[in-house]
Chains A and B, each alone.
Chain A
C-alpha cells in the first residue's frame, strides 16, 4: 500500500504556486532573521575563527588622519578598517587607507640603515646598525654646532636643514631642530595649499574652513575634487553625499576638468585656469549691488562697510568675469543670486584656485562670499575648523636665534607656511649654505616643480656636503642620500593627532599596531638617540629637551594632563579607543552620531559668538573698535554691549581688509590679477595636474592594490584641441614647456576645457620599488616583475607606469602665500616626433634658473609687483626692505 500518491514535478509546481499565493509573511521559518550588517569593531580569523586582536590607530596614508582599527593575527596586520568611534570619519577608510598595511610588508622597504659607498645616486650601499647610523648623523651635526660655537656665529646652525613633506609628529621634528638651534625647517606646504591658508589666516584666523555639508542647501565648489582627493576627502565626501542626496542641497562646481565631484554636481563650469577669483568677485558684486548681502553680519563682524565693498567690487562685474573666465555672465549672476538667497549655503575651494601666482587673492575672494551672505558659523554653513591642541613636554626648546633664509625668504613676508621651492636655487647661487641636509617624508626630486633641479642640487656634494634621509622607501630623493636611517611605517609609530576634519573636535593617537617590523626604529626614537649623541653629557644644553626614556614617556607628556582626557585615563584611554572624546555611536540607518537615547549629537555652531566670562573680562580693556584686550592680547570683541570671543584676528573680527597685505603693496581687499598664462598664444595650452582618488602624490605607487587600480596617467586633452593637432585617443604625444618636454599618451575627452590639458600625479616613478617602477636590477631581467610574488607574477597585467609631468612644470611662486603655481605653465602639444619614446623626459636646469629669476620679480620687492598693483595706495618707495631680520616674517624664528 502506498502512503503517498505518486506526484510529479508539475504537481510540485502547482503546490508551490498555491503556497506562493498565501503570501510570504504567513509561511516560512520564524527563526531565521536577516543578518545585521555590523558596523565594524570586530573581526575573525578566516582559518581558526578566533577573534582577531583589534588596535586603534590614526591613518597617515595621506594627510586626512582618519581613525582606523587594525586587525592583527599572529602578530601581523591582516586588515584595516575605520574606527567607528571617530566622529568625523565614522568608521570609513578610503582605498589608500585600506591598503596601508601593504607598506609594512613591502619587500622593497628599507629595514636597515644604509650608508652610501659609491657616488651619490649610484645605488651602492653598505648596511649599518641604527646605533652606527645615529652616531654618524650626530657626529655631522655636532661638527656644525662646534663650528658655530667656536666662531660665535649662531647663523651657522641654520646650515643644519630639515626638510619634510608630511610632518605629523606633533611637534617632534620642530623640537629636534629648535633644540639644535636651527630654524632651517622647510615645509612642503608651499607645493600644497599654502596660498589658501594665507588667503584665509589674516581674515579669520585659522587656515581652512570646515563646511557643514550635511546640513547645507547650496554648495559652491571652486577647484576642489571633494569626492576623491581634496583636503579631508573621506569625511567631506561622506558629508557632501549626505548634503546633496539626503538634504537635497544643490552643488555647483567650477573645475577645468570634469572630476568625479563635478560629475556629481548639479552644474559644472570649466573656467580658464586661475580665474576663479574673478568669478567669485563678480558674484560678490551681484550680491552687494542687488542688496542680497547680510548687512548685519558685515556691520558687526567684519572690518569693512558694505559701501566700501561695493566701491571695491564696482569693476568686477559678471561681464568682466566672463571675459576673464569664459563663464557666461548670466550664469554667474544667476548662481550668485541662488547662493545669496538659499540658506544655509557654503563654498569650498582647494587646489584649483590657489595653486597659482596670486592664489591667495583667489581664496580671499571665495571666502568673502560666505562672509557677505552671513553664512559663517551657521548650521549648514561655512564654519571655522575644529581641532584640539596638546601640550608639548617641558622644557620646550626656543626657536633658533637667527632666521633662516631658506625657510623664511624675506621677499615673501606674508608666506607664513614657508617657500621651500626656492631652496635649491638659493644654495646654488651661494645665497645660503648647507652642511647637513635631512629629509623626512619628503621626495622633492619627484614631487616638486622642475623636479630635476632638486635632483641636481642634492647630487652635488659641494652644495650639500652631507645628506641623510629618514625614509623607509627608496624614493627618487632618498636614493641620493649619503645615509638612510629608515623610519617605520605609520602603522608602527607614535604621534599625537588632531585634524579639523569635521565639526566634532577630537584628539587621536597614532600608535604601533604591531611591533616595528624586523627590529626597525621609529623616527621619534631616532631623534632621541641623535640628540643624546650630539650632547651626551648635556653640556650643550640640548639633551634636556629630549629627556625621555621611551617614546611612550614622550606620548604621556602630551596626553596625560589634558583636562577631560586626564580623568578618562589620558594616554591609556587613547591607546584603547584611538580617539577622544567619544561623542556617541554612529546610527546605522542615518549615519549620524547619536547618544545612548538615539538622539543626534549636534555639532556646536556660532563659535565666534561664545561670550567671554566675567573672569575673562577682569582687567580687560575695550578699544575704540570694540576689540577687547587683556595683557596686550586681543581676547574678544564687544558688539552692542556684549563681549564675544570673536575670530582669531587682531581685531577679533573677520578682516576682509588686510592691513598686513597693504604694508607690502598688495591689495588689502580680495582682488583678481590676470596671470601671464591668460595671454597664451593660439597653439598653447595650460598644463594642469590633479590627484587621483587612490594615490597620494608620491608614496603609494608601490602598493599593489592601488597600483592595479591606477598606474598610468595619459594627458587629458579636449576633443577639439586634439583634432586640431591630429591627435587621436592613445596617441603618443610630446608636451613641451619652456623648461623641456615629456613624451606621453593622449586621452581625448570632452571632460576638459579645450585650452587646457591635465596630467595626474602619482605615476611615472623612476624609483620607489618594483611596482612603482615595474623593473628591478638590470642584471636580472627575469626578476623584473617580481618573480617572488605570485600576485605580481600573475596579476600585474600592465607594463605602463605612466609619465610624471613635474620636470616640465615651471617654478612660479605666489608672492603672497608662497604657493607654487602648479597651473601656471603653458605648453604646446604635438604628435610625438620621430625617435620619441614613451616616457622620454628632457628638462633644462638653465631654463628653471630663468624661472627662478622671473618669479622673484613678482615678490613684493620685485618690479612686476609694483606694475601689477597700481591701485594700492602706498608709498612705493618706502616699502620695508627685504631683509632677513627686520621684515618680521611670521615664522622667522
Chain B
C-alpha cells in the first residue's frame, strides 16, 4: 500500500449521510450506472438506454452521446464494435490502463488490495463471480457497483424494507469509499481519461473523477482531503537520465 494512501483512514465522524431516501436511491443508481459502463463493454440494451432514458441526464452532466449515435451508413453493431474495441484497448489489453486497485498500488495483478476489497464485499454479504477470464474483484467498475449496492441497502433499511442497520451500512460505505477508493480512484480516472481515444469514455471518466471528489470531500475533513489529493497526484518519477552516468556496458 502506498504510504500516502495508508495515512488516509475511515475516521469520518458522520456515518449516516443525512441524505434523504430518494437521494440515497439516486446515488445508488448513478454508481450502478457507472459500474455497468466500466465493468464491461456496452451492449445493445445499454446503448438503447443511453440514447433514450439517460440521454438528457447524461447531457446535463457533460456527456455527449454523439459518438454513440448512428451516423450515415453506421449501424448499431458497428458502434458497439467500436466501443468494445476502445474498451478492450483502454481497460483490458496490455498497454492500456489497468482498472485494478492492486495494479495501481503494487504494480501487480491480484495482490493484497484485492483481498481488502473482497473482505469488504464479504462483510456486507456479497461475493464475487467473474464473467470473463482475467477479471478480479478490485476492478474499478465492480467497486463502484458495490458502493451502489450499499446506497440502495441504506435506503432499504431506512424505509424499513429490510431489518438492516442503516447506520452500519452507511459506515461500511464510508469506509469503503475513504479507504479503498479515495486513495487511487480519482487519480486513476484522470490518467485513464488521458489515455482514452473515444470521447464517450473520456467524458465518462471525467465525470467519474468529479463525482468521486465530490463524494470524498463530503466524507472527510480538509486535512484528510489534502492527503487524499496528494495520494491521487502520484506521478511517475521522471528520470534525469545522463547517458554518461554509467558506462555503456552497464557495469
Contact = CB atoms under 8 A, between A and B. Distances in A.
Interface string A743-781: 001110100000000000000000001100000110110
Contacts of B247: 729-730, 747
A730 B244 contact: yes
B134 interface: yes
B236 A786 contact: yes
Interface string B192-236: 001111000000000000000000000000000000000000111
A304 to B, nearest CB: 47
A107 B98 contact: yes
Interface stretch (B18-26, B88-96, B144-152): B88-96
Contacts of A615: none
B248 A105 contact: no
Contacts of B250: 710-712, 714
Contact of A108 (B95, B106, B132, B249): B95
Contact of A780 (B93, B97, B100, B243): B97
A474 B92 CA distance: 12
A228 to B, nearest CB: 14
Nearest to A745: B248
A518 B130 contact: yes
Interface string A28-53: 00000000000000000000000000
Contacts of B96: 777
B104 interface: yes
Contacts of B136: 518
A76 interface: yes
A746 B236 contact: no
B115 interface: yes
Contacts of B105: 788, 790
Interface string B114-151: 01000000000000001011111000000000000000
Contact of A473 (B94, B110, B191): B94
B88 A520 contact: no
A295 interface: no
Contact of B94 (A108, A118, A791): A108
A396 interface: no
A796 B106 CA distance: 14
B65 interface: no
B122 to A, nearest CB: 14
A114 interface: yes
B111 interface: yes
Interface string A93-106: 00000000010111
A799 interface: yes
Q: Is the interface of B mostly helix, strand, loop or mixed?
A: loop
Nearest to A787: B236
B109 interface: yes
Contacts of A832: none
A117 B85 contact: yes
Interface string B73-114: 000000001001100110011111110100111111111000
Contacts of B88: 114, 117, 125-127
A511 B41 CA distance: 34
A477 B96 CA distance: 19
A519 B195 contact: no
B108 A787 contact: no
Nearest to A130: B133
B88 to A, nearest CB: 5
Contact of A110 (B94, B98, B107, B234): B94
Contacts of A787: 191, 234-236
Contacts of A784: 236
Contacts of B191: 780, 782-783, 787
Contact of A749 (B100, B108, B196, B249): B249
A796 B236 CA distance: 10
- Which range holds the interface residue count of chain A? 35 or more
A297 B59 CA distance: 91
Nearest to B40: A127
B236 A783 contact: yes
A793 B103 CA distance: 12
Given A127-B88, A747-B248, A799 B234 contact: no
Interface in B126-182: 130, 132-136
A112 B235 contact: no
Nearest to A769: B94
A123 interface: yes
Give the one of A106, A108, A126 with max B CB within 10 A.
A126
Contacts of B130: 518-519
A292 interface: no
A730 B236 contact: no
A613 interface: no
Interface residues of B, number: 48
A216 B120 CA distance: 62
B109 A107 contact: yes
A634 B8 CA distance: 77
Contact of A517 (B41, B85, B109, B234): B109
Contact of A729 (B97, B104, B106, B248): B248
Interface in A479-532: 486, 517-521
A102 B133 contact: no
Given A111-B134, A123-B89, A796 B239 contact: yes
B236 A793 contact: yes
A785 interface: yes
B95 A518 contact: no
Contacts of B93: 110, 114, 123, 125, 127, 474
Interface string A816-856: 00000000000000000000000000000000000000000
A797 interface: yes
Contacts of A473: 94
A788 B107 contact: yes
A117 B79 CA distance: 13
A129 B132 contact: yes
A423 interface: no
Contacts of B244: 730
Contacts of A124: 85, 89
A769 B89 CA distance: 14
Given A110-B94, A519-B135, A730-B243, A792 B195 contact: no
A110 B111 CA distance: 17
A109 interface: yes
A474 B94 contact: yes
Interface in A797-819: 797-800
Give the one of A518, A520, A769, A784 with max B CB within 10 A.
A518
A183 B247 CA distance: 49
B133 A518 contact: yes
Give the one of A113, A114, A130, A780 with max B CB within 10 A.
A780
A539 interface: no
A8 interface: no
Nearest to B102: A105
A561 to B, nearest CB: 34
Given A76-B111, A780-B194, A794-B237, A788 B85 contact: no
B133 to A, nearest CB: 4
Contacts of A105: 108-111
A518 B85 contact: no
28 contacts: A74-B115, A76-B110, A104-B109, A105-B108, A106-B109, A111-B134, A112-B132, A112-B133, A113-B133, A125-B92, A126-B88, A127-B88, A517-B109, A517-B110, A518-B133, A714-B248, A747-B247, A749-B249, A782-B194, A782-B235, A782-B236, A783-B97, A787-B236, A788-B103, A789-B107, A790-B2, A793-B236, A798-B241
Interface of B: 2, 41, 81, 84-85, 88-89, 92-98, 100, 103-111, 115, 130, 132-136, 191, 194-197, 234-237, 239, 241, 243-244, 247-250
Given A730-B247, A747-B247, A783-B194, 12 more contacts: A105-B109, A107-B103, A110-B94, A112-B134, A124-B89, A125-B92, A125-B93, A126-B88, A711-B250, A729-B247, A779-B194, A786-B236
